[in-house]
């Protein structure tokens, strides 16, 4: 289980949400890096404080990290259950249609158990050209069991890479779990070369009332029940309930596109599939 003391706001913290010092060290099979960000731009939170799960914004990062640490072993099962088994094909198709191709150096932000990174590998990107970053040690441990990649424990809002290091930045279904969209997108812009591209895959709130009711039932009731019954996992059931809360309360797509534009990306666009799957594409020219 994740040690919550790792998230304290002090000089020894590597996972503090804001203001931490840079700490670099090797941890068995991956590198853990976090650095402070001094970006002065206005913060854009992906959703309001979700007091059902944590009482104050400062507690969010530790709560989310601990939640994913504990649910990591069931995350791939959860992804398949949420998508009725279509998730792997969809991710690969989305990356290829966005223009991912061999020869590009790829950063997978919030790589988790490596499902998006695997889609990049399946698209012909060599392992040496894919780097995965995630805040959750538990997710990275599962990732490491399935593939050999350079994995880094850190935060998307403070990427531990030099300027102009990548051709393609991917983020899959994790936009709702960051602290600040403006800082995140500024970091994407900083580490991308010219020309460079961002692809963000997300689940968006349905536009119809009936769609909201159906999705809420599926994610708050049915999937948690299946997680407890099929996987014997209270942790995964809890993650599903949190997932729905972040989807229901997430800022609208227009705000995400505006934050991408504010970071300097042009053009930016959003494509949708079946009403709830969003693909945000942004170019650095």
Q: Which two tokens stand for residue 165?
A: 């290091």
pLDDT for residue 144 is more than 60? yes
Query: How many Å apart are CA 86 and CA 277, to the nearest integer?
Result: 12
What is the count of structural domains for the chain? 1
Q: Would 134 be classed as within a structural domain? A: yes
CATH number, domain at 51? 3.40.50.150
Domain coverage including residue 142? 4-206+240-284
Phi, psi (degrees; rounded to nearest 5) at 120? -65, -45
In a domain, 215, yes or no: no
Name the band, by pLDDT with cuts 50, 70 and 90, for residue 63.
very high
User: Would you say 164 and 188 are in contact if contact means Cβ atoms under 8 Å apart?
Assistant: no
Strand partners, 30: 27
Q: Tell me: the pLDDT tens digits for 162-206?
A: 999 999 999 999 999 999 999 999 999 999 999 999 999 999 999
Given this model, what pLDDT does residue 38 score?
54
Alpha helix stretches (DSSP H) within the chain? 60-71, 75-83, 87-97, 115-122, 137-146, 181-191, 209-217, 223-230, 234-249, 253-262
Can you tell me the distance from the alpha carbon of 251 to that of 45, in angstroms, rounded to the nearest whole number? 8
233 assigned to some structural domain: no
Is residue 228 included in any domain, yes or no?
A: no
pLDDT tens figures, 73-96: 999 988 888 888 889 999 999 999
In a domain, residue 161? The reply is yes
Q: What confidence tier does 229 reach under pLDDT thresholds 50, 70, 90? A: confident
* Over residues 234-251, mean pLDDT: 91
| Inside any domain, residue 234 | no
Give pTM, 2 decimals.
0.85
Task: Assess if residue 212 is contained within a domain.
Answer: no
pLDDT class for 257, splitting at 50, 70, 90? very high
């Amino acid at each position: 289980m994740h040690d919550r003391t790792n998230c304290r706001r002090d000089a020894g913290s590597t996972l503090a949400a804001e203001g931490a010092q840079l700490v670099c060290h090797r941890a068995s099979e991956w590198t853990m890096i976090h650095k402070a960000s001094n970006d002065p731009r206005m913060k854009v939170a992906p959703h309001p404080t979700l007091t059902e799960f944590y009482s104050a914004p400062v507690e969010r990062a530790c709560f989310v990290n601990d939640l994913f640490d504990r649910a990591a072993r069931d995350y791939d099962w959860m992804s398949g259950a949420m998508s009725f088994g279509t998730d792997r094909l969809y991710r690969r198709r989305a990356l290829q249609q966005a223009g991912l191709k061999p020869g590009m150096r790829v950063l997978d932000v919030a790589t988790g158990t490596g499902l998006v990174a695997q889609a990049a590998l399946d698209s012909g990107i060599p392992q040496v050209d894919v780097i995965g970053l995630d805040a959750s040690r538990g997710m990275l441990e599962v990732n490491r069991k399935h593939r050999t990649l350079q994995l880094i424990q850190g935060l998307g809002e403070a990427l531990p890479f030099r300027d102009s290091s990548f051709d393609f930045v991917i983020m899959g279904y994790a936009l709702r779990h960051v602290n600040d969209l403006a800082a995140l997108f500024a970091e994407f812009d900083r580490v991308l070369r010219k020309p460079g591209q961002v692809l963000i895959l997300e689940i968006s709130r349905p536009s119809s009332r009936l769609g909201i009711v159906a999705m809420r039932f599926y994610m708050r009731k049915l999937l948690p029940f299946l997680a407890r019954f099929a996987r014997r996992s209270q942790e995964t059931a809890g993650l599903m309930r949190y997932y729905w809360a972040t989807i229901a309360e997430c800022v609208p797509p227009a705000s995400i596109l505006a934050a991408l534009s504010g970071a300097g990306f042009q053009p930016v666009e959003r494509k949708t599939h079946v009403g709830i799957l969003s693909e945000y594409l942004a170019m650095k020219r």
